[in-house]
Structure 1
Amino acid sequence: MPASEVNWLSLFKSPFIALMALIFVITGGMLAFHQLEGMGYFDALWLTVVSIATVGYGDIVPHTATGRTVAMVIIVSGVALFTYVLSTLFLYLMEGHISNVWGIKRMMHKINHLHNHIIVCGAGRVGKEVITHLKHGKIPFVVIEKDPAPIETLKTDGILYIAGDATEDRTLTAAGVHRGRTVITTLPEDAGNLFITITCKDFNPDIRVVVRTNRPESMVRFKRAGADHVISPAAIAGNRMALAAIKPASVAFVQTLIEKPDVSLDLEELLIPQNSSLAYKELRQSGLREKFSTQLLAIIRNEQTIVTPEPSEKLLPGDLLIVFGPSDKLTALEAEVTASQNPE
Structure 2
Amino acid sequence: MGPMTRFRSAMHELSDRSEHDLVGIIRMPASRVSPVTSIMRRVIGALLALTATVLIVYLDRDGYRDVNEDGVSFLDAFYYATVSLSTTGYGDITPYSESARLVNILVITPLRVLFLIVLVGTTLEVLTERSRQAFKIQRWRTKVRDHVVVVGYGTKGRSAVSAVLSDGVDPSRIVVVDQDQAMLDAASLLGLVTVHGSGTRSDVLRVAGVPRARSIVVAANRDDSAVLITLTARELAPKAQIVAAVRETENVHLLRQSGANQVVVSSETAGRLLGMATHTPTVVGLVEDLITPDEGLAISEREVEESEIGGSPRHLSDIVLGIVRAGTLYRVDSSEADAIERGDRLLYIRKVTPASD
TM-score (normalised: structure 2): 0.58
* Mapped partners of 1:260, 1:204: distance in 2: 28
How far 1:236 sits from its partner (Å)?
Answer: 1.1
* Mapped partners of 1:212, 1:111: distance in 2: 28
Correspondence 1:288 to 2:316:
yes
Q: Residues 120 and 260 (structure 1 numbering): CA distance in 2 closer, same or farther, change over 3 Å?
A: closer
Q: Residues 94 and 306 (structure 1 numbering): CA distance in 2 closer, same or farther, change over 3 Å?
A: closer
2:322–2:348 CA contact under 8 A, matched in 1: yes
1:316 pairs with one of 323, 330, 341: 341
* Mapped partners of 2:22, 2:334: distance in 1: 55
1:91-143 CA distances to partner (integer Å, 9 max, x unpaired)?
Answer: x9478253255246425633542322211001112212112222333323111
2:295–2:352 CA contact under 8 A, matched in 1: no
Q: Which residue is 2:237 aligned to?
A: 204
Q: Which residue is 2:7 aligned to?
A: none
Structure 2: runs of 5+ lacking an equivalent = 1-13, 26-119
One-letter identity of the residue aligned with 2:180: D
How far 1:313 sits from its partner (Å)?
Answer: 2.8
One-letter identity of the residue aligned with 1:127: G
* Correspondences of 1:77-88 after superposition (within 5 Å): none
Correspondence 1:297 to 2:332:
no
* Mapped partners of 1:212, 1:108: distance in 2: 32
1:210–1:230 CA contact under 8 A, matched in 2: yes
* Mapped partners of 1:270, 1:95: distance in 2: 44
TM-score (normalised: structure 1): 0.60
Q: Identify which range, 94-103 or 144-153, moves more after superposition.
A: 94-103
* Mapped partners of 1:118, 1:252: distance in 2: 29
1:121 pairs with one of 151, 170, 193: 151
* Correspondences of 1:186-335 after superposition (within 5 Å): 186-259=219-292, 261-263=294-296, 265-272=297-304, 276-279=306-309, 281-283=310-312, 288-289=316-317, 294-301=318-325, 303=328, 305-308=330-333, 313-327=338-352
How far 1:318 sits from its partner (Å)?
Answer: 4.1
1:114–1:179 CA contact under 8 A, matched in 2: yes
One-letter identity of the residue aligned with 1:288: L
Q: Residues 108 and 190 (structure 1 numbering): CA distance in 2 closer, same or farther, change over 3 Å?
A: farther
* Mapped partners of 2:331, 2:346: distance in 1: 10
One-letter identity of the residue aligned with 2:302: L
Q: Which residue is 2:214 aligned to?
A: 181
1:168-197 CA distances to partner (integer Å, 9 max, x unpaired)?
Answer: 222212222222111101111222221221
Q: Residues 164 and 186 (structure 1 numbering): CA distance in 2 closer, same or farther, change over 3 Å?
A: same
Q: Which residue is 1:56 aligned to?
A: none
1:231-288 CA distances to partner (integer Å, 9 max, x unpaired)?
Answer: 121111111111111211111122233336133x332223459xx4433x2227x973
Q: Matched residue of 2:302: which SS? A: strand
Correspondence 1:160 to 2:197:
no
* Mapped partners of 2:142, 2:295: distance in 1: 32
Tell me the C-alpha RMSD between the 2 structures: 3.3
One-letter identity of the residue aligned with 1:179: R
* Mapped partners of 2:267, 2:161: distance in 1: 20
How far 1:224 sits from its partner (Å)?
Answer: 1.2
1:196-221 CA distances to partner (integer Å, 9 max, x unpaired)?
Answer: 21222222211111112122211111
Q: Matched residue of 1:246: which SS? A: coil
1:212–1:231 CA contact under 8 A, matched in 2: yes
Number of residue equivalences: 239
* Mapped partners of 1:247, 1:104: distance in 2: 54
How far 1:300 sits from its partner (Å)?
Answer: 4.1
Asked which structure has the greater RCO (Cα within 8 Å, sep 6+), the reply is: 2
Structure 1: runs of 5+ lacking an equivalent = 11-89, 329-344
How far 1:159 sits from its partner (Å)?
Answer: 1.6
Q: Matched residue of 1:162: which SS? A: strand
* Mapped partners of 1:99, 1:199: distance in 2: 33
One-letter identity of the residue aligned with 2:311: E
Percent identity over the alignment is: 20
Q: Which residue is 2:88 aligned to?
A: none
Q: Residues 297 and 157 (structure 1 numbering): CA distance in 2 closer, same or farther, change over 3 Å?
A: closer
